[in-house]
Amino acid sequence: MREWRFVSYETEKSTFSLFPELCKGCGLCIEKCPKEVIVWQVDVLGIYDTPTVKPKDEESCVACATCETYCPDCAILIEKKKKPESKDN
């Protein structure tokens, strides 16, 4: 099984992971996110040396996975966090 480099960002409702070797910096995710969560970043460069993306903060993401769905390159992984109450169980 191939291993892909990734960076993960924890937000309240999700773990937002980006696979820079897959990201081509197209920006489709940024524009498709219903909550305008995603922003450019240059700390991690994509496969074509382009900027990649990350969530702008820890609050906005609602873990809807729209970005994941519409990324043509499968460069985003959204892991929904269990609701706090279920954590208490």
Partner 1 sequence: MAKIALAGEGGQGVQAIAQIMVNAAFNEGKNACYLPNFGLEQRGGVSLSFVQISDSEIGAPKFKISDIVIALSKRAVVRTKQYVGPDTIFIYDNTRVAESPDYAARKILGIPATDVANKELSSRVFNIIILGTVIKVTGILGVDSVKYALQESLKEKFLKNPDLKDLNFKALESGMSLVEEVL
Partner 2 sequence: MVQKRPKIPDGWFEDSKPHLFCPGCGYGIIFKAVAQVVDELDIRDRMIYGIDIGCSLLSYNFFNFDTIQTHHGRTTPVIYGVKRAVPEKMCLGIFGDGGGYAIGSQHLVSSALRNEKIFCILANNTVYGMTGGQLAPTTLPDQKTETTPYGKKVEEYGWPMQGPEMIAAIGSKDVYAARGIVSNFRQLKRFVTRGFQNNLDNRGFSFLEVLSCCPTNWRTNAKETWEHLDKVMTKYFKPGEINNPLEQKEGK
Which residues would be at the binding site for partner 2 (CB under 8 A)?
1-4, 6, 8, 17, 19, 21-22, 24-28, 30-32, 47-48, 50, 68-77
- Within 13 Å, how many C-alpha atoms sit on residue 65's CB side? 7
Contact criterion met (CB below 8 Å) for 23 and 47: yes
Which position among 17, 54, 71, 77 is part of the footprint of ligand SF4 (CB under 6 A)? 71
Least distance to partner 1, CB of residue 28, Å: 14
* Binding of residue 49 to partner 1 (CB under 8 A): yes
